[in-house]
Chain A
């Protein structure tokens, strides 16, 4: 662990007067798995969208690797090495699995349209390197069998894995996972937990994930942040959070 890779400082966000996030602050340490939990509508996805630059916060600051980012944009944040998956799968439905994964590498490409059109210059080498890298990740996530399948026709669980592959392929330093296990049965959850741990340990990516299954969260993560109505009500190790009375009241004690 060598300091914070991500700091959220005093971030507030509102839609048409409704507060989604209220003066939220926390830090994610390098190399940890940090879970964001909280009831539906607590602002978890909105927070990821602010970190990604999809939403613009009304106030506050995001600090990445010690460098504050004034106006985060999706592309700028991606260039800093942040990968992301979405709550309701945001894959490119009409493209193949391989092509979906390859899009995650596009920002590393330099070949111009002319080089690409005539297949000269930097293009051939880049094409080969991208292809190899994508195949590696596809093999890592064990989806080789579906490499050429059109993504929109795959079952939900596999789609989640393709999305993870796309987020991983450019070797992100920080990976944001929005409910990666939603809709999975316990076997699938165990399997995906193993992948997430592998990503964390073997590929060395710091992970922030949103998850509803408290059992999975407590087993998987090093650090838990609890949100309720856009406020932070708990922040600490799984054990600390489990004992926090505010958290119990806000989240663990209530059924959702």
Chain B
């Protein structure tokens, strides 16, 4: 696991280019990839894939999307779910109305539609700063939820206003089984995380972080602030858009606009806070936390026979309290999130025989 951490985290150029560590890291990385792509679908049962792994990976991907914008470029968004919904509804309409499009292409085009919307809704960032900007991102959230609910064309005039994937197949393979959907999700996410890593380790990622840390100095250093901000909105929304399409079709199966409500946006923000801002790997930790906590809570109630005392409503409220407390606690104790905590533990473990 630690190999994955160090290979995904940015700004470790020097270490990666040192001779002996590389081969070890590479081997561990390849092993981890093999586990993710081959072993998990072979041994994972359907429940695990459906309820745990797929939502974790997809929400992690959405977290990557928001983290590019918030963690790297320093632009807080409270409307990321809106861009997920754009991706979902675009993919649905593309698959429905352009049946010749293969699935990957439909996903990519859907991502670009979300990116375009992201750039448009990012335009205020050129004039507005700070909390005024953060608060205004709620506008995107409410606008798109309203748009996809009130204009029935987007859901092909279905009575229930829902969308479901017309087909999940790629070059003849049917991907509707849990293992198939898992592979779709994990291959897409793997590729996108690779792209994200390349971007954040590049000139563009540095420009984003520079704008985040001090925008006046960034401008004077010659960084084109406006176009970099818009690019951050575009790239972030591209990622969120594809995550949204995967959420609707590979996880939920059937979705409506309210699957991408304000709570989902907050969840994605929480993923970024829990996992750690300006970390790519951390988003998957954060997502695992968000997905697993309710399940663990349910199990606890079941195991200790508390069902007579705790109804579903109190569980929901308990969950809200737990998430809220965790967020506050992390912000106080571990502002860089779980990824930095785990990084520290891994380093301590590596040095363990020497100092206890």
CB atoms of A and B under 8 A apart anywhere in the complex? yes
A: residues with CB less than 8 A from B are 52, 54, 73-75, 77-79, 84, 86, 90-96, 98-100, 102-107, 109, 111, 113, 116-119, 123, 126-127, 130, 147-148, 166-167, 170
Residue ID in chain A nearest B211 by CB atoms: A92
Tell me, yes or no, whether B278 is within 8 Å of chain A by CB: yes
Contact in complex: A54, B204 (CB < 8 Å): no
Tell whether A106 pairs with B221 under 8 Å between CB atoms, given A95-B11, A95-B210.
yes
Tell whether A130 pairs with B213 under 8 Å between CB atoms, given A54-B220, A106-B223, A166-B221.
no
- Complex alpha-carbon distance, A91 and B218, angstroms: 9
Min Cβ gap B205→A in Å is 9
Which one of A78, A94, A109, A116 lies within 8 Å of B221 (CB-CB)? Answer: A78
Which one of A91, A127, A148 lies within 8 Å of B202 (CB-CB)? Answer: A127
Q: Provide the residues of chain A in CB contact with B210, threshold 8 Å.
A: 92, 95, 100, 103
Tell me, yes or no, whether B217 is within 8 Å of chain A by CB: yes
Contact in complex: A109, B222 (CB < 8 Å): no
Q: Give residues of chain B (151-201) contacting chain A, Cβ–Cβ below 8 Å.
A: 195-196, 198-199
Residue interface bits B214-238, CB-to-A below 8 A is 1, else 0: 1011111111110000010001000
Contact in complex: A92, B214 (CB < 8 Å): yes
Residue interface bits B62-99, CB-to-A below 8 A is 1, else 0: 00000000000000000000000000000000000000
Min Cβ gap B226→A in Å is 9
Pairs of residues from A and B, 5 with the lowest C-beta to C-beta distance, nearest first? A78-B222, A74-B219, A107-B222, A90-B217, A92-B213
B: residues with CB less than 8 A from A are 11, 13-14, 195-196, 198-199, 202-204, 206-207, 209-210, 212-214, 216-225, 231, 235, 278
Which one of A91, A103, A117, A118 lies within 8 Å of B206 (CB-CB)? Answer: A103
Residue ID in chain B nearest A95 by CB atoms: B209
Tell whether A75 pairs with B213 under 8 Å between CB atoms, given A106-B203, A109-B203, A147-B14.
no
Which one of B13, B199, B212, B222 lies within 8 Å of A75 (CB-CB)? Answer: B222
A-B Cβ contacts below 8 A, count: 105
Which one of B198, B214, B216, B217 lies within 8 Å of A119 (CB-CB)? Answer: B198
Residue ID in chain B nearest A48 by CB atoms: B220
Tell whether A107 pairs with B11 under 8 Å between CB atoms, given A118-B195, A123-B202.
no
Contact in complex: A116, B204 (CB < 8 Å): yes
Contact in complex: A74, B216 (CB < 8 Å): yes
- Complex alpha-carbon distance, A169 and B302, angstroms: 63
Which one of B212, B222, B235 lies within 8 Å of A113 (CB-CB)? Answer: B235
Min Cβ gap A122→B in Å is 11
- Complex alpha-carbon distance, A90 and B223, angstroms: 14
In this complex, the member of A98, A113, A123, A147 whose beta carbon has the largest number of chain B beta carbons within 10 angstroms is A113
Q: Provide the residues of chain B in CB contact with A95, threshold 8 Å.
A: 11, 206, 209-210, 213
Q: Provide the residues of chain B in CB contact with A86, threshold 8 Å.
A: 217, 220
Contact in complex: A113, B204 (CB < 8 Å): yes
- Complex alpha-carbon distance, A126 and B203, angstroms: 10
